[in-house]
């Protein structure tokens, strides 16, 4: 937050120092940098007048890496050393990369199983380092254009980025020597670019179809405050996928063998991509494919044909659109505007289908390639303090619930999904056993009731809990999600203040498809989950009762109970022990109740004994006076 600026009477605001700030759209396919000049946001061009910097980096043995257009041009001749779409690898583990269907032409070094490194002629590089090269190129461009160093930047990320992906983005910025003012969700940046925050209120759908990802967000503007009501999307669906469909069509139509090499595939892909982009303006394009030992294939692709090819992929974006509406609790009629973001929304077919879905024409007046960078620049200008009184507050939501493991392998949700961030929420937990001095805290993400069905984010231990009887210790677990979506969890024992803390930067990212699956599972398994929870809860209760009974029998069983009473209790407890292992909540509950009945008298005698013991040496009046 900017400090309040005090200007002397008579001093015009124009004389105040203008801080250099920029907004950076670090895209999968293209990246941009923008700044606010004379009150207007504008993207900055390179020496050749290009605004879009292809998100490509080419490494070579002795020279420093090439970025942007120069690197992208090398992608078909040097695919192994040219890194494209590195954003897809950010914050991902090797396992996620192997699972994904991305057609990646480079080799990974798997020396450390969690952080992937790409083998290049210039050495082994991590995705963070590759992103840092792109950011460095944009930083240089901005500083050359503006004539001084940037004081701060706002970098945008997809709304769906998880902790690890956000952290990786921040690390890349740091590596590039940038001061990150904050990360901003791409849809929120787009809404700001259209100045939607100056309206009095509204509900907006931000449809972002880029090169590698699809994101849909529902924002609500309320008294100048943007709240992200819901987000959904598909991080493995973008213009690249349209390109692949067209490339495959091209291979088939030209009669080329499917087993073509990487280089030729890239060449064809390049041609397919160009055809797609040109068909946004014209009705037909001509194509030609070189085939060894055969004449060149020549053919055409019409917009109608293109539309048929890409239609299924565009329709795939509508399911997340539907889900976002449902999660936001709104209907299509509630949507006041649809903002189109990302190069792929240039395709007329995309505009058509989106318009049909919402029953309204989407906003397309701002260049969909630049809109995110423009919004980020406006936000950076505010955060750096050039515009302190027109501050806007931006709220985002968490995509999946966050919670901790409790006894019986159950998950207690601490922050529910779609809660707006930043947020801090605390919950109290207690010990299970008498004299327990340590507790393990297991942080989970997901909607299901059982630990095994959720995603494990972190585990840590709280020590130095003073020994007390079970259930007496109070451990406060605080979840804090900051404005960038990063989670930190603190556990504190409330009497001694013993504390333990963890920042969650999971090494494995989460695919949107996985989020979707987790959400679907939570719905389809809802009733079974409730039953499973009931069973687990009863099992935990059974364990607690049996544990306490064993302890009581050990100390007082022989002195306070007759042989007959002892055997009755033993019978009831063995019934419970058996019931505990069968997965029926009602049976366990009944067995607990029966054992309870059988031990009532024993408990009363123990109580008498302990009161008697406590009273020894004290007069009754002494206690009365105290009360």
Residue with smallest beta-carbon separation from ligand ADP: 239
- Asked if 33 contacts 43 with a C-beta cutoff of 8 angstroms, the reply is yes
User: Environment class of residue 350 by beta-carbon count within 10 Å: exposed (0-12), middle (13-18) or buried (19+)?
Assistant: buried
Count CB-CB contacts under 10 A for residue 255: 10
Q: Cβ-closest residue to Mg ion?
A: 210
Which residue from 65, 152, 212, 399 is in contact with ligand ADP, where contact means CB under 6 A?
212
* Count of residues in the chain: 627
Rounded Cα distance, 78 and 362, in Å:
40
User: Which of 65, 93, 116, 211 touches ligand ADP (CB under 6 A)?
Assistant: 211
Catalytic residue status for 38: no
Q: Rounded to an integer, what distance in angstroms lies between the CA atom of residue 172 and that of residue 158? A: 16
Task: Find the shortest distance in angstroms from Cβ 208 to ligand ADP.
Answer: 7
Here the tokens at position 135 are 């950011």
Choose between 42 and 277: whose C-beta lies nearer to ligand ADP: 277
Interface residues for ligand ADP in 532-551 (CB under 6 A)?
none
DSSP state at residue 484: T
How many angstroms from the chain centroid is the CA of residue 460? Answer: 21
145 is catalytic: no
* From candidates 21, 22, 24, 30, binder to ligand ADP by CB under 6 A: 30
Shortest reach from residue 52's CB to ligand ADP, in Å: 7
The CA–CA distances, whole Å, from 603 to 233, 552, 599, 600, 615 equal 58, 9, 6, 5, 18
Minimum separation from the CB atom of position 513 to ligand ADP (A): 17
CB 72 within 8 A of CB 86: no
Nearest distance in Å: CB 318, Mg ion:
19
Q: What angle do CA 464, 468, 470 make, to 5 degrees?
A: 110
Shortest Cβ distance from residue 243 to ligand ADP (Å)?
6
CB closer to Mg ion out of 27 and 187: 27
Per the structure block, which two tokens stand in for 367? 């260049």
Burial of 550 (0-12, 13-18, 19+ CB in 10 A): exposed
Catalytic one of 46, 78, 186, 227: 186
Q: Decide: is 347 part of the binding site for ligand ADP (CB under 6 A).
A: yes
ω into 497 cis (within 30 of 0): no
The verdict on 342 binding ligand ADP (CB under 6 A) reads yes
CA-based end-to-end distance of the chain:
53
Out of 152, 239, 408, 485, which residue is the one contacting ligand ADP (CB under 6 A)? 239
**Residue ranges that bind Mg ion, judged by CB under 5 A:** 27, 210, 342
Pick the binder of ligand ADP from 41, 79, 91, 343 (CB under 6 A). Answer: 343
Is position 446 an interface residue for ligand ADP (rule: CB under 6 A)?
no
Closest to Mg ion by CB, 213 vs 431, is 213
Active site residue 25: yes
Adjacent-strand bridge partners of 21: 152
Among 240, 405, 447, 598, contact with ligand ADP (rule: CB under 6 A): 240
Question: Is the Cβ of residue 234 or residue 405 nearer to ligand ADP in the bound state?
Answer: 234
**Catalytic residue (one of 162, 163, 208, 598):** 208
Of the candidates 72, 74, 87, 170, the residue annotated as catalytic is: 87
d(C-alpha 347, C-alpha 362), whole Å: 13
Catalytic residue status for 208? yes
Contact between 406 and ligand ADP per CB under 6 A: no
Which amino acids are annotated catalytic? 25, 87, 186, 208
């Amino acid at each position: 937050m900017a400090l309040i600026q005090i200007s002397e009477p008579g001093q015009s605001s124009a004389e105040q120092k203008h801080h250099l700030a920029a907004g950076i759209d670090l895209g999968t396919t293209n990246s941009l940098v923008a700044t606010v000049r004379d009150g207007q946001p504008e993207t900055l061009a390179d020496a050749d007048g290009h605004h879009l910097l292809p998100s490509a980096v080419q490494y070579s043995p002795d020279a420093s890496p090439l970025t942007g257009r120069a690197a992208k041009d090398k992608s078909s001749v040097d695919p192994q050393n040219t890194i494209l779409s590195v954003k897809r690898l950010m914050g991902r583990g090797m396992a996620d990369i192997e699972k994904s269907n991305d057609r990646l032409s480079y080799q990974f070094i798997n020396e450390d199983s969690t952080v992937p490194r790409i083998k290049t002629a210039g050495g082994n590089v991590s995705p963070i380092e590759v992103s840092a090269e792109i950011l460095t190129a944009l930083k240089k461009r901005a500083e050359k254009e503006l004539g001084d160093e940037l004081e701060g930047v706002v970098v945008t990320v997809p709304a769906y980025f998880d902790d690890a992906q956000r952290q990786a983005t921040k690390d890349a910025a740091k590596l590039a020597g940038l001061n990150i003012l904050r990360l901003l969700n791409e849809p929120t940046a787009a809404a700001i670019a259209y100045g939607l925050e100056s309206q009095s209120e509204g509900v907006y759908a931000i449809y972002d179809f880029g090169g590698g990802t699809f994101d849909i967000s529902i924002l609500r503007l309320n008294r100048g405050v943007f709240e992200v009501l819901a987000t959904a999307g598909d991080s493995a669906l973008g213009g690249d996928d349209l390109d692949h469909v067209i490339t495959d069509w091209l291979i088939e139509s030209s009669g080329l063998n499917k087993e073509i090499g990487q280089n030729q595939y890239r060449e064809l892909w390049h041609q397919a991509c160009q055809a797609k982009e040109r068909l946004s303006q014209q009705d037909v394009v001509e194509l030609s494919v070189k085939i060894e030992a055969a004449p060149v294939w020549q053919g055409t692709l019409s917009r109608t044909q293109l539309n048929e090819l890409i239609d299924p992929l565009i329709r795939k974006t509508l399911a997340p659109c539907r889900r976002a509406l449902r999660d936001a609790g709104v209907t299509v009629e509630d949507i006041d505007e649809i903002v189109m973001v990302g190069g792929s929304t240039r395709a007329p077919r995309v505009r058509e289908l989106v318009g049909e879905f919402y029953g309204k024409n989407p906003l397309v007046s701002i260049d969909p390639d630049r809109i995110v960078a423009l919004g980020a620049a406006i936000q950076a200008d505010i955060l750096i303090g050039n515009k302190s009184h027109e501050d806007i507050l931006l709220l985002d939501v968490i995509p999946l619930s966050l919670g901790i493991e409790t006894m019986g392998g159950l998950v207690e949700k601490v922050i529910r999904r779609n809660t707006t961030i930043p947020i801090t929420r605390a919950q109290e937990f207690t010990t299970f056993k008498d004299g327990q001095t340590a507790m393990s805290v297991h942080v989970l993400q997901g909607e299901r009731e059982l630990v095994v069905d959720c995603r494990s984010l972190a585990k840590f231990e709280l020590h130095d809990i003073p020994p007390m009887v079970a259930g007496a210790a109070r451990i406060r677990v605080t979840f804090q999600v900051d404005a960038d979506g990063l989670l930190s969890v603190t556990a504190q024992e409330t009497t001694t203040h013993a504390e333990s803390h963890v920042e969650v930067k999971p090494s494995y990212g989460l695919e949107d498809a996985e989020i979707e699956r987790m959400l679907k599972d939570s719905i389809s398994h809802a009733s079974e989950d409730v039953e499973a929870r009931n069973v687990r809860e009863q099992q935990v209760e059974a364990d607690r009762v049996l544990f306490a009974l064993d302890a009581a029998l050990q100390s007082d069983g022989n002195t306070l109970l007759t042989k007959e009473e002892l055997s009755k209790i033993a019978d009831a407890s063995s019934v419970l022990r058996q019931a505990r292992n069968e997965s029926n909540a009602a049976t366990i509950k009944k067995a607990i109740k029966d054992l309870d009945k059988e031990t009532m008298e024993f408990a009363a005698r123990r109580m008498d004994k302990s009161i008697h013991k406590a009273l020894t040496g004290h007069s009754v009046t002494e206690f009365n006076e105290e009360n």
